[in-house]
Amino acid sequence: MCGIVGYIGKRPALPILVAGLKRLEYRGYDSFGFFALNDVSHFLLKKVGKISEWEEKILETDFKGNLGIGHTRWATTGEVTEKNAHPHWDCNREIYLVHNGIIENYQELKKDLVREGHCFVSDTDTEVFSHLIEEYLKNQNKLEEAVREALKKIKGNYAIAVVSKRDPGKLVVARLGAPLLIGLSDGEYFIASDPAAMISYTRQVINLDDNEIAVLTPQNHFVLKEKPIERIDWEIKEAQKNGFSHFMLKEIFEEPEVITEAIKGRIDFERGLARLGGLEQASEKLSKIERVIITGCGTARYAGMVGEYMFEEYAKVPTKVEVASEFRYRNPLLDEKTVLLAISQSGETADTLEAIREAKRRGSLTLGLVNRVGSSIARETDAGVYNRAGLEIGVAATKSFVSQLTILALLTVFLGRKREMSLVMGRRILEEINKLPQLAERILKQSDFIKELAEKYSEYRNFIYLGRKYNFPIALEGSLKLKEIAWKIHAEGICGGEIKHGPIALLDEDFPVVCIAPSDSVYEKMRNAIEEVKSRNGKVLAIVTEGNREIKELADDVVYIPKTLEMLTPILSVIPLHLFAAYLGLELGLDIDKPRNLAKSVTVE
């Protein structure tokens, strides 16, 4: 969703705000704004577009204020216009505020405030916050008390940062359902929606919990309850492109590395076990579960679909994948023998959080598979596993998806060895998992060829992706990446067996089909699907196992992946599809790091 930064301390705030907000543009980039303050003057700028277009002019102002807030927007309520960009202010232009989230009852509150004489200048829900605080500040001496009273009126979720000209030595922040961190340093504080904005300045952070308000001054900070200080493990180099033209390309080429990180220290070859320390506290309960529900949104859900095949085939646990946004609206059957596994890169996905809360209300064990330490999902689930994928700045998930699949494979062994999985099978899966980083590197060596394929296929405007069994979710993921990154093209992921039940009517020489057909238990079925496509003059780009010459005779183009266990093929087959989408987006002249209308973390329903 939107990105927030803030600073109070001894240095000029503007350069810190600009640098931090640039690192948060993946959360939203249709407009931005800054407000900085000192004892005698202020700086205010709101613009439509990207920060980089205005960075030089902002910094040339050399404004000396040591207190400020910034915001990069992903529009929800109100169009993409300068007046709807943040910060927003009150009638007297004394209170300035930035907000990530959504106020569900803003129309009702706005009507009441207008009746009280307040004048609104934007179409956003956020502006209600500023006027509510103004109203309560009439009877309060302290900004934080006015903020507290205003929050009592709000229905929805929020992370906010508030400053006031009447109190230029104070920054007030609060959260409910949207991420917000406080960074601590000597005589200065940073606030942000994401660690990426502050890791250049501090590694010491406090994660605000829901319904908490923090008051920051250069001298100290106050939170309504004592909070533990944590450490950010990401490195500043992860927020840099390191020679790549785009973060997305860098992150795809990091996929072998994230597999290595996901399995490091988690494999016990001798006993054929996966060591997942984050699950040890729930180990006894996991031995007794009778059913697993996996939930997530978008790419995370597709990872869960691969996990469903893994869990049922090898761990012998009945498993179902649920769309997180629909989960609590369909009265799901949950009990103490059911475990809910929530998958989210950010750990802040609003729909997935609500699914967790629903499962907890009904007595189910909840597990999280997230990338960010200290995120809401990490804190609200009973136990879990971290991706260790590092910072992912490209809006479209790539390396985090590969990491999720790798951990789901480890989790399969973890659960399977508690049931019927033999020592021999446990060892075999783990040995094959251990080979994956080297196999992934071999695929990336074909990047120049895949780039040529993207150039060749860039003239087409419709694609179908086909896969079966373990690679059906990869067909969905491949088509989603193409839609996200090369958004001028429509793509659809379909189960290979379903092509003849309707979608085949679409096929002709102008409608390419990407077929994922490794040498596995459904290879013959996929070969038949390819023949059906070719018989309708369709063009076929096939992903097949090394050594397969048969498909090369059928398909127009072939990309090879190394041989591995069937359950692990998705980890390899998705890599060329990620590259294909990235290169095709570049060929169309699109910004593959920041696709239109998308944001990295969706923290509102």
Catalytic (active-site) positions: 2, 600
For residue 131, give every residue at least 6 positions away whose Cβ sits within 8 Å of its Cβ, in sequence order, or none.
Answer: 90, 91, 113, 118, 120
Judged by DSSP in three states, 165 sits in coil
Q: Please report which helix (H) or strand (E) contains residue 520, including its range.
A: none
Measured between alpha carbons, how far is 92 from 90 in angstroms, rounded to an integer?
6
3-state secondary structure at position 116: coil
Query: Cα separation of 60 and 74, whole Å?
Result: 27
The backbone torsions φ and ψ at residue 294, rounded to the nearest 5 degrees and listed phi first, read -105, 135
DSSP symbol at 451: H
Quickly list DSSP for 365-390. Answer: EEEEEESSTT-HHHHHSSEEEE----
Contacts of 160 (CB under 8 A, 6+ apart): 4, 97, 98, 99, 100, 101, 129, 147, 173, 174, 175
CB atoms within 10 A of CB 521: 11
**CA-closest candidate to residue 37, choices 162, 219, 192, 195:** 162
CB-side neighbour CA atoms (13 Å) of 532: 20
Residue 372's nearest CA partner among 179, 221, 182, 112 is 179
Q: Are 557 and 463 in contact (CB under 8 A)?
A: no
β partners of residue 69: 6, 35
- Burial of 42 by CB count in 10 Å (0-12 exposed, 13-18 middle, 19+ buried)? middle
* Torsion (CA) 133, 134, 135, 138 in degrees, nearest 10: 110
* Integer-rounded Cα radius of gyration of the chain: 25
